[in-house]
């Protein structure tokens, strides 16, 4: 048990009474510049020694999570056979012994896609009419139609997508990435999370989905608010100017150094650096979120009204974060849980996310940043090819055996479709891509060999991709 030192209590008591405007979430996650094995590098925060250990093909990741599970059958995976069988009993040979969320034990009937599909781009990518802006970027995206995961309910499925396991408390992928290779900024967190809402039954997203697990807490994601100040207490308290805040941070640093000389705790050095970082955030975050320098045509392209909490505004802020060196940016749009009202809510969710997604990709491309940015789009799972509700309120249940996601940027082969589900859109049957394969591919593009990237925890060498086999999907990489 660590030895108790009175100075620690005095210092904390002092801090609790100062009213200093430094967000605790930011402080806990902004310790990376003083990591024990990493060293500060010019213009950013270094990762672990020896990393990256592969050629680095992208510098950053923007993960666009359509939380709730978008239907692959209304977006990217048209199944003519399923349309032919619409309303007929679903063959038991497909579902026998298979996990089903809310349809278990009920009569299963085929539900053909309610969307029309057209071919787009040079290679004829099949994209639903719900996504007209995706159709415009058909030649930039690689649609993977053979994704599989292992968890059939929302929270554990998000946990699996984000951490590679259903066990809570493990590091999220953004934390792994920042731990491994650091980031290009010491003015902002290396891992930022934002969320928006719109659609049916928006599922809550727990903050542990971007936690650091057994990695140092400085690598956890920092949630930026979509409205108001993006980080709590980022502005100085009333009556405190920047000069006074600077003096306060200096005084706290002196107390910390005195405590360090007494306690000999190396974590105190990181605390000193954290206050310095938080002070710099007070300068950088207001500039980051001040959209007055964005021309009107850019705001119009995104459909953004900064500060309105929308997915569009979050996409624009994601581009600004990427420009400033943030390594991992995770956007959630909550509202894709379409057990009912499928047509209505596909309209709503697509309307809120389709154009901003196109704008983000296009904006990055025009700025020369898409070549070193990996964009990933998808949910925690897909939806069943069986109808969950009646004709007046058509919906689909959760589905994990075959669904669609897409990737773009860097060396990803745009204009291609990879993998396939069966004739009814139930099982992934060709070039199956597991979530662990997605993680392995992402790490590979960032310059990390997933098989040689581990942290010792409870006597085990823990990895994002776990101990089960995982492969880099090289066929989608140019």
pLDDT digits (tens, 9 = 90+) for 212-233: 999 988 899 999 987 777 766 5
| Residue with token string 């994704």 | 147
What pLDDT score does 104 carry? 86
What is the band of 286 on the pLDDT scale with cuts at 50, 70, 90?
confident
Is 34 or 439 the better-scoring residue by pLDDT? 439
Per residue, the 3-state secondary structure of the chain, as one string, reads CCCCCHHHHHHHHHHHHHCCCCCHHHHHHCCHHHCCCCCEECCEECCCCCCCCCCCCCCEEEEEEEECCCCHHHCCCCCHHHHHCCCCECCHHHHCCCCCCCCCCCCCEECCCCCCEEEECCCCEEEECCCHHHHHCCCCEEEEEEEECCCCCHHHHHHHHHHCCCCCCCCCHHHHHHHHHCECCCCCCCEEEEEEEEEECCCCCCHHHHCCCCCCHHHCCEECCCCCCCCCCCCCCCCCCHHHHHHHHHHHHHHHHHHHHHHCCCHHHHHHHHHHHHHHHHHHHHHHHCHHHCCHHHHHHHCCCCCCCCHHHHHHHHHHHHHCCCCEEEEEEEEECCCCCHHHHHHHHHHHHHHHHHHHHHHHHHCCCHHHEEEEEECCCEEEEEECCCHHHCCEEEECCCEEEEEECCCECCCEEECEECCCCCCEEECCEEHHHHHHHHHHHCCCCHHHCCEEECCEEECCCCCCCCCCCHHHEC
In sequence order, the 6+-apart residues with CB closer than 8 A to the CB of 116 are 128, 129
User: What's the rounded Cα separation, in Å, for the pair 78 and 68?
Assistant: 20
User: What's the rounded Cα separation, in Å, for the pair 357 and 124?
Assistant: 20
Q: What is the mean pLDDT of residues 270-297?
A: 77
Distances (CA, A) of 400 to 146, 237, 355, 378, 426: 10, 48, 27, 13, 9
Which value, in Å, is the radius of gyration of the alpha carbons in the chain?
Answer: 23
Q: What percent of the chain has pLDDT over 70?
A: 82
Could you report the per-residue pLDDT of 74-118, keeping only the tens digit for each?
999 999 999 999 999 999 999 998 989 999 889 999 999 999 999
Q: Inform me whether the pLDDT recorded for 368 exceeds 50.
A: yes
Q: Inform me whether the pLDDT recorded for 141 exceeds 50.
A: yes
Q: Inform me whether the pLDDT recorded for 350 exceeds 90.
A: yes
Q: What is the mean pLDDT of residues 412-441?
A: 98
Q: For the chain, what are the domain ranges?
A: 60-233+294-476
User: What's the rounded Cα separation, in Å, for the pair 408 and 413?
Assistant: 8
Q: Inform me whether the pLDDT recorded for 448 exceeds 50.
A: yes
What is the band of 258 on the pLDDT scale with cuts at 50, 70, 90?
confident
Structure-token pair, residue 355: 């154009």
Count of beta carbons in the 10 Å neighbourhood of residue 431:
15
What is the band of 29 on the pLDDT scale with cuts at 50, 70, 90?
very low
For residue 13, count CB atoms less than 10 angstroms from its CB and return exposed for 0-12, middle for 13-18, buried for 19 or more: exposed
User: What's the rounded Cα separation, in Å, for the pair 129 and 152?
Assistant: 27
CATH architecture, domain 60-233+294-476:
3-Layer(aba) Sandwich (3.40)
For residue 458, count CB atoms less than 10 angstroms from its CB and return exposed for 0-12, middle for 13-18, buried for 19 or more: exposed
Residues counted in the chain: 478
């Amino acid at each position: 048990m660590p030895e108790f030192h009175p100075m620690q209590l005095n210092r904390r008591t002092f801090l609790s009474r100062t009213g200093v405007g430094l967000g605790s979430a930011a402080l806990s996650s902004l310790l990376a510049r003083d990591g024990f094995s990493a060293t500060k590098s010019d213009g950013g925060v270094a990762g672990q020694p020896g990393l990256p250990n592969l050629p680095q093909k992208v510098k950053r990741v923007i993960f666009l999570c359509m939380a709730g599970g978008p239907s692959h059958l209304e977006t990217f995976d048209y199944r003519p056979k399923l349309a032919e069988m619409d309303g007929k009993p679903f063959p038991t040979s497909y579902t026998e012994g298979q996990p089903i969320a809310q349809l278990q034990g009920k009569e299963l009937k085929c539900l053909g896609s309610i969307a029309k599909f057209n071919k787009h781009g040079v290679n004829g990518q099949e994209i639903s009419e719900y996504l007209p802006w995706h159709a415009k970027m058909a030649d930039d995206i690689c649609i993977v139609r053979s994704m599989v995961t292992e968890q059939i309910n929302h929270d554990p499925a998000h946990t699996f997508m984000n951490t590679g396991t259903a066990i809570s408390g493990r590091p999220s992928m953004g934390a792994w990435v920042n731990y491994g290779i650091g980031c290009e900024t010491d003015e902002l967190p290396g891992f930022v999370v934002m969320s928006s809402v719109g659609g049916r039954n928006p599922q809550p997203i727990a903050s542990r989905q971007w936690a650091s697990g057994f990695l140092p807490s400085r690598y956890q994601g920092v949630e930026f608010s979509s409205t108001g100040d993006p980080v709590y207490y980022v502005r100085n308290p009333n009556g405190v100017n920047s000069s006074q805040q600077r003096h306060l941070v200096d005084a706290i640093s002196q107390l910390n150094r005195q405590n360090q000389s007494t306690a000999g705790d190396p974590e105190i050095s990181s605390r000193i650096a954290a206050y310095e970082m938080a002070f710099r955030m007070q300068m950088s975050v207001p500039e980051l979120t001040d959209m007055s320098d964005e021309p009107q045509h850019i705001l119009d392209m995104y459909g953004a009204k900064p500060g309105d909490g929308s997915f569009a505004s979050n996409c624009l802020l994601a581009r600004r974060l990427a420009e400033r060196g943030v390594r991992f940016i995770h956007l959630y749009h909550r509202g894709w849980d379409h057990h009912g009202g499928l047509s209505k809510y596909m309209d709503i969710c697509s309307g809120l996310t389709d154009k901003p997604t196109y704008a983000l990709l296009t904006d990055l491309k025009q700025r020369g940043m898409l070549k070193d940015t990996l964009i990933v789009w998808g949910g925690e799972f897909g939806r069943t090819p069986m109808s969950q509700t009646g004709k007046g309120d058509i919906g689909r249940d959760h589905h994990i055996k075959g669904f669609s996601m897409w990737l773009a940027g860097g060396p990803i082969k745009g204009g291609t479709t990879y993998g396939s589900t069966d004739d009814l859109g139930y099982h992934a049957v060709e070039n199956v891509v597991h979530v662990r394969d997605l993680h392995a591919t992402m790490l590979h593009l960032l310059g990390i060999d997933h098989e040689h990237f581990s942290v010792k925890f409870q006597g085990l060498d823990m990895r994002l991709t776990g101990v089960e086999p995982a492969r880099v999907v090289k066929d989608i990489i140019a």
